């Protein structure tokens, strides 16, 4: 198991949810953390304060990582502040619920750019500057099992699962690439999905989990930490679903 003490980690989309939990988890293990948001300065500052409570070094970067300039900016800031880059967590994603036949071009582009394109571009920009290290892609169970109303989101997450394997092949041996695929997580995005589908947390969890509760962001962060530190893991996507796939998939 590899130590991350003193390693430099970028976590995109880390103003809340899985990104915030991951940034705090890595900071507690001694990483120097670069956090990011596109537009939520208040939430990003809250994450920054929580990380500073751990005693870790941290900087925040406002940037749209669905653009080349945004990805380049966050990598440049990491290198300027800390001198190296060891870990990239591609966490940014956007899940907009709508029946497939009602989705317009703008929604298609918005979801693909945020969820898939951002990971592709940030991985390119980071890998060019990393001597060694690892990349973690935050995918979703929706990338392996279909869910009504999330067809484009699911397609983008399925792309992340495949590109995880492709990048592991192309970037070896110096850079490892793995992913996590959680089901509905207790975050703002997860809660909005339950709301739009007209179900509550307890009922959904009873139908879709073997232990009857939603996934906590801290559990996903712990899985990401595992994939960063266990150097024999490469090209894999770890499912975190509370047994939902055993039950047969998504039940509204």
pLDDT digits (tens, 9 = 90+) for 46-78: 999 999 999 999 999 999 999 999 999 999 999
Q: CA 179, CA 89: separation in Å to the nearest integer?
A: 9
Instruction: For residue 78, give both structure tokens.
Output: 């990491």
* Residues 168/178/29/217 CA torsion (nearest 10 deg): 160
Q: Which of 109, 114, 105 is nearest to 38 (CA)?
A: 114
Which pTM does this prediction carry? Answer: 0.95
pLDDT of 77: 98
pLDDT of 186: 87
Rounded to the nearest 5 degrees, what angle is found at the Cα of 12, between the Cα atoms of 187 and 108?
A: 75
Domains of the chain: 8-245 (3.40.50.720)
- Span 21-30, average pLDDT: 98
Catalytic residues: 153
pLDDT of 25: 98
* DSSP label of 34: E
Kindly indicate the confidence band of residue 252, based on its pLDDT and cuts at 50, 70 and 90. low
pLDDT of 250: 76
3-state DSSP assignment of residue 147: coil
Instruction: For residue 12, give both structure tokens.
Output: 């995109």
Q: What is the pLDDT of residues 207-228, one digit of tens each?
A: 888 988 889 999 999 999 999 9
Q: Is the pLDDT of residue 233 over 80?
A: yes
Q: What is the mean pLDDT of the chain?
A: 94
Contacts for 101 with CB less than 8 Å, ≥ 6 apart = none
Q: CA 27, CA 33: separation in Å to the nearest integer?
A: 6
Q: Which of 33, 94, 38, 108 is nearest to 67 (CA)?
A: 38
Kindly indicate the confidence band of residue 198, based on its pLDDT and cuts at 50, 70 and 90. confident
- Span 162-172, average pLDDT: 98
3-state DSSP assignment of residue 121: helix
> Distance of CA 75 to CAs 41, 72, 88, 121, 194, Å?
19, 5, 9, 11, 35
Q: What is the pLDDT of residues 139-154, one digit of tens each?
A: 999 999 998 999 999 9
């Amino acid at each position: 198991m590899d130590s991350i003490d003193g390693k430099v980690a970028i976590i995109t989309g880390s103003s809340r949810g899985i990104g915030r939990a991951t940034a705090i988890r890595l900071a507690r293990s001694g990483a120097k953390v670069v956090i990011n948001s596109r537009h939520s300065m208040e939430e990003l500052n809250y994450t920054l304060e929580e990380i500073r409570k751990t005693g870790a070094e941290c900087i925040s970067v406002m940037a749209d990582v669905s653009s080349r300039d945004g990805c380049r900016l966050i990598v440049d800031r990491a290198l300027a502040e800390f001198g190296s880059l060891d870990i990239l967590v591609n966490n940014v994603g956007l899940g907009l619920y709508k029946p497939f036949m009602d989705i317009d071009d703008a929604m298609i582009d918005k979801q693909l750019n945020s969820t898939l394109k951002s990971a592709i571009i940030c991985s390119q920009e980071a890998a060019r500057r990393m001597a060694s290290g690892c990349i973690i892609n935050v995918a979703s169970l929706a990338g392996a099992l279909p869910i009504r109303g999330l067809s484009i989101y699911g397609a983008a997450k399925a792309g992340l699962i495949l590109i995880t394997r492709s990048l592991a092949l192309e970037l070896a041996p110096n850079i490892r690439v793995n992913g996590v695929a959680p089901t509905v997580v207790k975050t703002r995005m997860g809660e909005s999905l339950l709301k739009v589908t007209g179900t509550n947390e307890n009922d959904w969890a009873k139908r879709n989990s073997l232990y009857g509760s939603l996934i906590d962001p801290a559990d996903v962060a712990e899985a990401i930490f595992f994939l960063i530190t266990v150097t024999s893991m490469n090209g894999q996507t770890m499912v975190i679903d509370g047994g939902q796939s055993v039950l047969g998939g998504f039940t509204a």
